[in-house]
Structures are given as structure tokens and as C-alpha cells.
Amino acid sequence: MKPWDGIISEDEQKAYRAAGFGRPTGMGTRPALLIIDVQYRTTGTVEKPFWESIKEFPTSCGDVAWNAVRHIQPILKVFRDKNWPVLYPHVAPKKSYDGGRLAAKVPSIMTIPEKGYEFVAEVAPVEGDILVPKKQPSAFFGTALTSYLIDVDADTLVVTGCTTSGCVRSSVVDAFAFNFRVAVPEEAVYDRSKVSHAVNLFDMSEKYADVMPTKDLLSRLSNIPARAAQGTS
């Protein structure tokens, strides 16, 4: 069963099939992992239901975020074990001049305390990971992400984090536009809206990415050789 079944009608799904959408692009041989905005401001510092979690950070997605973190963990372990690059597009603490149109739409983003910008410990970066601060939804817009990906010779991006309908989707679309293969493990991305989550997974699956269960992604990654450590051949 797909995450969008029961939300996207069977007739609508058939319409996409008839038009030829939704073909898989497959995995390359040089994957990189993006962990987007998995910070306490989107999860809360402890796992709580949504309405409790937003009392700490109004931008928290609640318990669905922590479920995603548990699915990101085994993916991250594979990337660490195989010496593949891990990149962390994230929102840095906001300054008064960082507002822009997003602050007009969502004023609460300007009042997140410092703790909210810390990476969730269970999937936090380590020495050697690449940090990519961003000010817009797409991890590519106005950042050095493309340059980093070229430098590590990536041909496939595994995209995790949040939100499915916002920063994940916009980053996936831009990755597709740059001609990367893109994989989205469906349980390793999250959103405060179940409907937006499902609809955007469907749309990405049809047009921009291979969307699949985490277990299927892990199986595919297991067949890709590890990257040699720097300085070895």
C-alpha cells in the first residue's frame, strides 16, 4: 500500500499511469544523503503528540518527526559504514534581517530559541559531514550544495527530513532539475499535515523521484559498493 492510497483516488492514479508518469529512474553508484532541517525546532526536544509539541516550538511536527528520525537512523548508518557523503541542509538561527517573505507568511520562524536550531542528536552531523545553511525552502537555492555534490562526485541523492511538502519537495525538484537521480524513503520524511505529506510523496513519485519504503531503499543501497577512503585507491 502506498502512502497516498485513499487520498489520491484510483482514477487519478490511473490517469498518471496512462500518461506514462511514475517510471523509476533507479539508483546510481555514487549516492549522497541529504538530511534536511532535522532540528529540534521541527521535532521538539522530546517525542510528543503534535499539539503538545508545538507548545515548545510552534514549528514542530510532533511525533511524526520522531518516527521519521527512527527511519533516518539506519540509512545514516549505511552511509557512514560505506564512507558515502552526508550533507545537512539546515536553517541557521534567524537574524532580524533574515525575515523576507517567509517571515511574513510564518512569523513564528523569527522567534525560535537557539535550542531549536540544534540538530537532533540521534542523527546529528559528525566530523567530515557537510553543513549547508540555507535561507529558502530548497537546499540548492543560494547555497553551495551543487558545488559540494560535484566535489564528492555524487550521481544519486537520498533525500530525508522535512517538511515533505516544503523543503523536501523543493529540494527534490531542484535536484531533478540538476539531473541527479533522486530517492525518497517515504517514512524518513515528515510533515505536520498527513494529507500534504501523502499528496507530495505522490507528486514526487510521479515526476521527480523514486519514492519507496525505507526497507527497499536499504536493500538497494546494500548492493552499491562502498567508497574508498580518501588517500586510498
Specify the CATH number for the domain of residue 94.
3.40.50.850
Q: How many angstroms separate the CA atoms of 203 and 213, rounded?
A: 16
Q: Looking at the domain assignment, is residue 46 inside a domain?
A: yes
Does residue 158 lie in a domain region? yes
Q: Which residue has the cell 537521480?
A: 181
167 is catalytic: yes
Set of cell numbers at residue 17: 499511469
In a domain, 85, yes or no: yes
From 36, 167, 175, 184, active-site residue: 167
Calculate the dihedral angle through the C-alpha atoms of 76, 175, 229, 224, rounding to the nearest 10 degrees.
70
Report how many domains make up the chain.
1
Which pLDDT tens digits describe the chain residue by residue (233 residues)? 999 999 999 999 999 999 999 999 999 999 999 999 999 999 999 999 999 999 999 999 999 999 999 999 999 999 999 999 999 999 988 777 777 787 788 888 778 889 999 999 999 999 999 999 999 999 999 999 999 999 999 999 999 999 999 999 999 999 999 999 999 999 999 999 999 999 999 999 999 999 999 999 999 999 999 998 765 54
| All cell numbers assigned to 166 | 516544503
Q: What pTM did the predictor assign?
A: 0.95
What range does the domain containing 200 cover?
29-222
